[in-house]
Amino acid sequence: MRIDLHAHTTCSDGTRTPSELIDDARAAGLDAVAITDHDTTVGWEEAGAAAMERGIALVPGVEISCERGGRSVHLLGYLLDPSDGPLTAELAKARESRATRLERMVALLAADGIPLTYAAVLAQVPPGATPGRPHIADALVAAEVVASRDEAFARWLHDQSPYYVHHYAPDPLLAVELVRAAGGVPVLAHPFAATRGAVQLSGEAIGQLADAGLAGLEADHPDHDASARARARALAARLGLFVTGSSDYHGSGKTTRLGDNLTDPLVLAALEGAGSGSPVIRRSGH
């Protein structure tokens, strides 16, 4: 069984639609894939229908952008109830803040003579999707101001850019509580990634999340070297958490390929046992 538990689509910052993600999962020889767009569950329905058609198991999920001490922490939530009131309200609040923030970034860029409008950026965001800096990059590519997302980030959109504007994101402790209350299973994404200004929570802080219901750590991830993977495994063993592996696939938005890291089938079974908000979507008999 080949299981990849972290992938993005055009519903956030991936470049493949939910159906195309399932096509890619099939091409990568996966038996199961999770859809984990940032701060939205809007892609679940399309991905679920495609997964049923193609005989792939779909693990419905979300990657919640969180913040602690001014820095970014990502929490994966699997098998949660997508209609849960408090969780839905929190995700909507985050998306709203992201939209306002993009509008402000566009105003700053335009004031400096970079030819861009907020309408052009919104044209890059599918309905219900989570707006992000990659959509500004896509608008700049569409207008032929830059050649690629990477160029847009390197010149104007990176974290230290004068055009960078902050957006609201919940503390990871609140996110763990909300995912659990929605019947979901919270897993800390790439906890020891050293890239892109991601914060590394201390073992003590991760212990507090575990006390609040954190169920797992994503140990095998493209942004983890061998020592980060070993650290995640050791901490998971100490805290009684399970470990997952995944590619964090973004289509052509990042270089990782689907299936680059995999999750043990026993872990998927444990995850299914722990989640009660939504089922894994699979054909009966599989």
Using rule CB under 5 A, residue 133 touches Fe ion: no
- Residue 243's closest CA among 227, 229, 259? 229
Using rule CB under 6 A, residue 149 touches ligand AMP: yes
Using rule CB under 6 A, residue 150 touches ligand AMP: yes
Stretch that binds ligand AMP, among 26-34, 147-155, 229-237, 270-278 (CB under 6 A): 147-155
Q: Are strands 71-78 and 242-245 parallel, antiparallel or unpaired?
A: unpaired
Site string for Fe ion, 189-218 (x = CB under 5 A): x-----------------------------
101 or 221: CB nearest Zn ion: 221
Using rule CB under 5 A, residue 74 touches Fe ion: yes
Q: Where does residue 70 rank: exposed (0-12), middle (13-18), buried (19+ CB within 10 A)?
A: exposed
> What's the Rg (C-alpha) of the chain?
18
* Backbone φ, ψ for residue 144 (5° rounding): 60, 30
Using rule CB under 6 A, residue 222 touches ligand AMP: no
Using rule CB under 6 A, residue 53 touches ligand AMP: no
The footprint of ligand AMP on residues 64-123 (CB under 6 A) is: 65
Residues 248, 267, 275, 277: which binds Zn ion (CB under 5 A)?
Answer: 248
Q: Is the dihedral of CA 44, 79, 130, 87 positive or negative?
A: positive
Using rule CB under 6 A, residue 218 touches ligand AMP: no
Distance CA 180, CA 183 (A): 5
If you ran DSSP here, which 8-state letter would residue 131 be given? Answer: P
Q: Are strands 216-220 and 71-78 parallel, antiparallel or unpaired?
A: unpaired
Q: How near is the Cβ of 72 to ligand AMP at its closest, in Å?
A: 8
Residues 4, 9, 11, 13: which binds Fe ion (CB under 5 A)?
Answer: 13
31 or 190: CB nearest Fe ion: 190
Element (H, E) at 177: helix 172-181
156 or 192: CB nearest ligand AMP: 156
* Backbone φ, ψ for residue 158 (5° rounding): -65, 170
13 or 116: CB nearest Zn ion: 13
Stretch that binds Fe ion, among 8-16, 138-146, 152-160, 234-242 (CB under 5 A): 8-16
C-alpha distances in Å from residue 254, one per residue of 76, 150, 222, 274:
18, 9, 10, 31
Using rule CB under 6 A, residue 196 touches ligand AMP: yes
User: In the complex, which residues of this chain contact Zn ion (CB under 5 A)?
Assistant: 63, 248
User: In the complex, which residues of this chain contact Fe ion (CB under 5 A)?
Assistant: 13, 74, 189
